[in-house]
Amino acid sequence: MKEVKIESVFQVYEGILELPEDLQELMQKAIEARQKAYAPYSKFYVGVALLLDNNEVVLGSNQENASYPSGLCAERTAIYYAGAQYPKAKILKMAITAASQLRTTLEPIPPCGACRQSISEYEIRQKSPIEMYFMGERGKVVRSYSLSNLLPLIFDKSQL
């Protein structure tokens, strides 16, 4: 038996204003997308903005359903839209923000496990990293150099 250590490194920004200017703009778009979320059940509003290598910005927000599992997270709404609309474009950056109507969300909110798995499909397919930035309603922003940095020991098509 041997032990394997996997290390993930993240950058933590004190707030949006500490981000490079292009990222401030992308996060601002994610905040606007968040306001369009349809989340009457959880009252947890998530917004995403993707920057593609064709310069398009794709927005997404969570879309809930009375049949709870039929709803979809903001991250998957955005990447599936990007994949459907611009199948040849690479996703360069993803900005995520989440806010709850029930409390103030100050800690950075990372994408859920199912979203990480879904985003990883796109990162592997495009053969280049998707830079991830995530925050709560306001406050600190966390950067991950890639999706795989957020999801080590990933299940991917090479294992099928």
Active site residues: 75
Task: Please tell me whether residue 33 binds ligand THU under the rule CB under 6 A.
Answer: no
In terms of DSSP bridges, do strands 10-13 and 141-144 run parallel, antiparallel, or are they unpaired?
A: antiparallel
Q: What span, in angstroms and rounded, lies between the C-alpha atoms of 147 and 116?
A: 7
3-state secondary structure of 115: helix
CB of 12 to ligand THU, least distance (A): 19
Instruction: Report the candidate in 91, 44, 89, 81 with the shortest Cα–Cα distance to residue 64.
Output: 44
Give 106 or 112: the residue with its C-beta nearer to ligand THU.
112
Query: Nearest distance from residue 109's CB to ligand THU, in Å?
Result: 7
Distance, in Å, from the CA atom of 133 to the CA atom of 131, rounded to the nearest integer, reads 7
- Figure out which of the listed residues 16, 115, 119, 150 binds ligand THU, where binding follows CB under 6 A: 115
Exactly one of 13, 27, 62, 89 binds ligand THU (CB under 6 A); that residue is 62
Least Å distance between CB 5 and ligand THU? 27
The CA distance from 66 to 51, in Å, is: 31
Binding region for ligand THU (CB under 6 A): 39, 42, 44, 46, 62, 64, 71, 73-75, 111-112, 115
